[in-house]
Chains A and B, each alone.
Chain A
Amino acid sequence: MDKGGRTAYILLILGLVLVIVSVICFYFFGSERFAYTVVSYSIFGGGFGLLGDGIGRLNAARLEKKDPERMRLINIEKNDERNIAIDEKARAKAYTLSIYLFSAVLVILAIMRVELKALLIVLCADLIVMIYSLYIRLKLYKEM
């Protein structure tokens, strides 16, 4: 089996295991504490995410064997430099929007007199996004 197929099967199995574990967790501990329910749901979501990714990769690996020409076209579309440039530009615009959105959310939460803890969590998330952007910028300054 090739590397792509192996990764697909690993993701499928891991996803399935996580979904089963989350159902068991919810069944046995879900009603005890709210935090357990949240953890179970998170594992369930993550598990299904991996399952979906695995199925997608498996389909791609099968298609590559069955119809290499179609797979080549898909890869061209995926690696097309204009598509990549559009994708990067869209992400950059969305990042700029997120900065304004975070600020707006912070002001709204403050007006609503939300608990300080919740405010700090949003603020931390905002700061992490900004610091990460700065880190990538500095890294690229050195690399490019």
Chain B
Amino acid sequence: MCKGDAMKNRVEELRKERGIKQEELAMALEVSRQTIGSLENGRYNPSIQLAFKISKFFGLKIEDIFIYEEE
């Protein structure tokens, strides 16, 4: 991944679809609420472990949640 490339995700959309609060998702994934907030805003890209945890939580593939965009 180059510096200019961006990673988008559907975490906020999926969370809201399921009616889950940020705190609840954070507790389920064992991360802080701020991490969820940063992920949703695209300010922070998760580690591969966290990405797998998120995909497992929502029952989707990683590529269905995280979208890689080349510049």
Instruction: Tell me the minimal C-beta distance from B35 to chain A in angstroms.
Output: 4
Per the CB 8 Å criterion, the residue count for chain B at the interface is 13
Query: Which positions in B face A, CB cutoff 8 Å?
Result: 26-27, 30-32, 34-35, 38, 44, 46-47, 49-50
Tell which of A3-11, A44-52, A79-87, A108-116 binds the partner: A79-87
Query: Which positions in A face B, CB cutoff 8 Å?
Result: 76-77, 79-83, 85
In the complex, chain B residues whose CB is within 8 Å of the CB of A80: 31-32, 34-35
Q: Knowing that A80-B35, A81-B46 touch, tell me 7 more A-B residue pairs with CB under 8 angstroms.
A: A76-B26, A76-B27, A76-B32, A80-B34, A82-B38, A82-B44, A83-B32
Instruction: Tell me the minimal C-beta distance from A14 to chain B in angstroms.
Output: 34
